Amino acid sequence: MRVTMILPALTEATSPLFRPIKYSLFPPLGLATLAGYLDPGDEVTLHDEHVERIDLESLDTPDLLVIQPYITSARRSYEIADHFRARGVHVAMGGLHVTSLPEEAAAHADTIFTGPGEDTWPLFLKDFRDGVPARRYDSTQRTLAGLPPVRRDLIKRHLYLVPNSIVVSRGCPHHCDFCYKDAFFEGGKSFYTQAVDDALAEIDRLPGRHLYFLDDHLLGNRRFAEALFDGMKGMGRLWQAAGTVNSVLKPDLLERAVEAGLRSLFVGFETVNDANLAERRKNQNIGTDYAAAVRRLHDAGVMVNASFVFGLDQDGPDVFDRTVAWAVEQGIETATFHIMTPYPSTGLWKQMEAEDRIVHRDWDLYDTRHVVYRPKNMTPRQLEDGYWRAYRDFYRWSNIWRGAGAQPGTHERLRHLAYAGGWKKFEPAWDLLIRSKRVVRALPALERTLAAFGGRG
């Protein structure tokens, strides 16, 4: 059987003028994971449009085309699907957007999948080989037991800065109402992990030193996380991951992670306005000391990539400057800002729709950089302008220097300057590396930055 798998690019990643490094940062693993279920004799190719251009006319005609749309790649996904269906190819489609809007996706696919695919994908493959594929498969059984190894041989490693991405869990234990998670995992468990031995075996298969965990919340199951970190000690790995404020503040958990090689953590602070937290069900952040979490990470030698959301209903026009000032004062190395975006099927979407505040359904603009709803306490223009100003202000050299000054020691200050400056101030160089297909050559510099001053424990 000939199988083609395509991850269509998010709209911004296709710009002919500029290619942000975040779209070449690491290989997504959804399709490569599904490819692990195919038979050894199947011919399979995998294309990630974020890092390679695809000429649809030049691609061979497979027996099966598998597409994984995100919301801002939905239009491109449907274009690809329609093209291959016109050539008689059976098109299968799943993922977050398909689960949120299955009827929309079904108009462009022969088979759709809702929820995670570990239980339904093998059933479909059997049905497809038998000539009786169903139109829709809904996930209900949630387990990672028996998960085959990711087909990393299909990944074009040289096109990514960090080729060693890995996922050892699914979902998140929390229930923020602006997140896709609850809708995607409806009908079964919404947070579950691999067996620790299976996760360690997957890590062992990865070459080199650096790892990038793509899990929504690697620290979400303490028993699993502690056993994983204990198993990783002595491997000599350096890694980055995502966690929550309250997980950082838990005694001993961060220390175990650092001993296992943690050097940078993505943390969802989301808002410096406490009134927003309960309203958006960000319960894990309520009553937590953000500054204490940052200090704890820095004292352990871990860099912070902070996530913030603008445009929540309690936000006014002052939220941008207050957020940037707080982040700089804390010495946060990198920040990711977002405009609140009501994704279809989330609690936030249902509220906004009931209040008639959603202004359009042009999915290309649901990218957290555009305002697609009516804000309460500022105009859409104020919100978009403030979002862009926050990025400009946080990454000004003056603020990068100020942030470095908040670090606990000289080495940490140097690392801050190298990491924060290198991430945003040299974007033209990143663009050149991406277009020349040499971005992986910057990996040794990233590893040196992570290793030089980290893990002071």
Reported as a pLDDT band with limits 50, 70 and 90, residue 19 is low
Reported as a pLDDT band with limits 50, 70 and 90, residue 281 is very low
Runs of H (alpha helix) within 139-286:
181-184, 196-204, 222-232, 245-249, 253-260, 275-279
Report CA 369 to chain centroid distance, whole Å: 16
Whether 282 shows a pLDDT value over 60: the answer reads no
- What pLDDT, on a 0 to 100 scale, did the predictor assign at position 270? 86
pLDDT digits (tens, 9 = 90+) for 402-449: 999 888 788 888 888 888 887 777 777 777 777 777 788 888 888 887
| Closest C-alpha among 71, 73, 108, 83 to residue 93 | 108
Contact 23, 78 (CB under 8 A): no
pLDDT digits (tens, 9 = 90+) for 156-196: 999 998 999 999 999 998 888 888 888 888 888 999 999 99
| Tokens (6 digits) for 222 | 């303490």
Among left, alpha and beta (phi > 0; psi -120 to 50; other), residue 109 is: beta
Q: What are phi and psi of 34, to 5 degrees?
A: -60, -35
d(CA 65, CA 6): 8
d(CA 74, CA 69): 5
Whether 20 shows a pLDDT value over 70: the answer reads no
pLDDT digits (tens, 9 = 90+) for 354-408: 999 999 999 999 999 999 999 999 999 999 999 999 999 999 999 999 999 888 7
Contact 184, 142 (CB under 8 A): no
Contact 211, 160 (CB under 8 A): no
Reported as a pLDDT band with limits 50, 70 and 90, residue 457 is very low
* Chain mean pLDDT for the chain: 90
Please give the domain boundaries of the chain with CATH numbers for all domains: 2-138 (3.40.50.280), 161-452 (3.20.20.70)
